[in-house]
Amino acid sequence: MSSLNNSTNIFWQECPVGKVERQKLLNQKGCVVWITGLSGSGKSTLACTVSRELHSKGKLSYVLDGDNLRHGLNKDLGFKPEDRTENIRRVGEVAKLFADSGLICIASLISPYRKDRDACRAMLPDSNFIEVFMNMPLELCESRDAKGLYKLARAGKIKGFTGIDDPYEPPLNCEIKLQQENGVCPTPSAMAGQVVSYLEDQGYLQC
């Protein structure tokens, strides 16, 4: 992980156009929808489906996908605990900026450690952090294994893989929990509908 130094002699620059003005322009309220869960639980699919549903309603959103961010912003980070923490911190800061711009920011990351997710929640003013827990069993996630990562982890070719030899700490007080119903996983459309309905009920889709 690259070394981080505390900045000194810096001052916050205010701008005459603020969050309230941007939200009025977009007729929506900025927030962060943070989707967490095991690899293969359906986080990215849900994020894209929610974004598409919001787009169909004329609402502006942006998806921050964990894998995509590791191609650029976080490409210098590995998967050691301290790197994972810095990975989530950076995404949290970017998500905060998107929310401040008035957008609905959808962050899709395993984000296995509770303290790191809670730190991101604490960044957001007015509690505009909506944690969505993809509560899918390991067996289901491993049976999907679209990227072949579980197979590599089981073979010992990947170390520190969440759910296999590295822990996943589930949320304790998430806003939305998505899980199987009678042993059947809801469709992405149905799960996205739950998320969008929550945003509607909480007043995020109007200003």
Residues labelled as active-site residues: 111
> Please, what is the Cα angle at 187 between 29 and 87, to 5 degrees?
55
Tell me the β-bridge partners of 184.
181
Nearest to 56 by CA among 192, 198, 191: 192
DSSP 23-88: HHHHTS--EEEEEEE-TTSSHHHHHHHHHHHHHHTT--EEEEEHHHHTTTTTTT--SSHHHHHHHH
Sequence length of the chain is 207
Q: Which helix (H) or strand (E) holds 130?
A: strand 129-135
d(CA 117, CA 82): 14
> Please, what is the Cα angle at 5 between 4 and 10, to 5 degrees?
125
Any idea what DSSP says for residue 131? E
d(CA 169, CA 95): 21
